[in-house]
Amino acid sequence: MIGITAYGGYIPRLRLSRQAVGEANAWYAPQLRGRPGTRSLANWDEDSVTMAVAAARDCLGAAPDRQALRALLLASNTLPFAERLNAGIAAGALRLDDGIEALDLGGTPRAGLSALCQGLARARAGLGDTLVLAADQRHTRPASAQELEVGDGAAALVVGSGAVLAQWLGSGVVSVDFVDHFRATGETVDYHWEERWVREEGIARLVPQAVAQALGEAGVDAAAVDHFIFPTPFARLDGQIAQRCGVRAAALADNLADTVGDTGTPHALLMLAHTLERAQPGQLILLAQFGSGAQALVFRVTDHVRHARPARGVSGWLARGVEERQYTKFLAFKGTLALERGMRGEQDRKTALSTAWRHRQALLGLVGGRCRVTGQVQFPPGRLSLAPGQWLQDTQEPYPLADRGARIASWSAEYLSWHPAPPHHYGQIDFDGGGRLLMDFTDLEVGDVEVGTAMELVFRIKDRDDRRGFTRYFWKATPLRGPASAT
């Protein structure tokens, strides 16, 4: 049996109020006023790689063996590097085996489904389990309809032949150069074509073709589908497509439009992860996505779905969201609005790539060292361990810290240094089992922390070298909210 063995997702904590966007732009685009709900907003230190890592950690939890993964496929149309293996960064942060095959995919919103199909094909060929990641953090023009419609997020699946919780039954694809929108190399904002043309000549004609192929290969009647997943920013279009495909209206899955928006490449997989949280054994899931044609897959839920649960899940990420009404903060986080940095923000942030390579396990994986003689934990790891009254050499063993619980030993919040989201919160963190580290804090407001506050670790952007276009990553601490993330 081939199919999905684990699932997870990630939605940033901030949710931008659409009403706030409409009010800020009412002088120019009054038609934007009155739109209800929110859209997800990535923090300044998040991008498609960090969100993909967050979704992967939600998916992997404690159950699957990370070292058993033989491939990592990262699908995104907003990857930070055009020529650097973004999937390789994610693999390092997740502490996956160096022998894993890692690959970036993009070019179409359905790249996430294409990555899923590739992972399933690898499993069918006996090539082992594949971690499929999808993430997007899209840029839009101020006062555009897309500014309200899109959102930031990520999804993750493990596909293989183990304890399958959703069996793969069939798939279909239509690959044609139907251009509903495009973004040229070097540009940051998509150019969109006329909505009616896209709906009637593109989506309404191409998606049913892919769906029919998938249902035919699966040997499933459309009326038997229990969950129909089709992400679209166009209101009620998912229901129209379902009707055209012969799927019952009751099978429509929540497209998260009111709270998250359309996250682009990961959205079908994010909706799938949300659906699997409540799916029952025996139910049929049909998911499809449009983009340079269309793609569709059919799954049957198995009994294993009762026991396979993500660390937090899409429902958990939805529950932890907080509304953001500062429109200029949104623009600044997206890089659309350049705020004054002052002299303290003028440092040259060049990264020594040779040093980063030598310390890659510590920097990407947050791996410290634990002395096998004294049990003391040290970060960064080194050849020398300081024990009471003696120096010990070469006694440290790798000791991962990213998934361990932690508490604040001391902290500060200051406005003196330049920071993208002042005040700059940081402090000393004590890890469960030993180890203390000075870390930046993220995803919090003044008053959210004090000495003793329980924290969890998240993989984020440390800083950006704007002169050379290089992004540097490390781990940060954030207040533990809701269920603890499993390791």
Mean per-residue pLDDT pooled into runs of 10, the chain (487 residues): 97 97 95 93 98 97 76 97 97 95 97 98 96 97 94 98 95 96 92 92 96 98 98 93 97 96 98 98 98 97 94 96 96 91 78 90 95 93 85 94 96 92 96 96 95 97 90 97 50
**pLDDT at residue 391 in the model:** 86
CA distance 206 to 293: 6
Could you give the 3-state DSSP secondary structure of residue 225?
coil
**pLDDT at residue 483 in the model:** 47
SS percent in the chain: helix, strand, coil, step 5 = 30, 30, 40
* Of residues 160, 78, 155, 94, the one with CA closest to residue 127: 160
**pLDDT at residue 78 in the model:** 97
CA distance 367 to 363: 8
Written as one letter, the residue type at 201 is E
CA distance 312 to 331: 29
10 Å Cβ neighbour count for 127?
14
- Angle CA 338–339–345, to nearest 5: 105
Exposure of 271 in the CB half-sphere (CA atoms within 13 A): 29
Are 269 and 112 a contacting pair, CB within 8 Å? yes
Task: Give the pLDDT confidence of 135-147 residue by residue, as tens digits.
Answer: 999 999 999 999 9
**pLDDT at residue 485 in the model:** 40
**Residue 376 CB-density burial (10 A; 0-12 exposed, 13-18 middle, 19+ buried):** middle
**pLDDT at residue 302 in the model:** 98
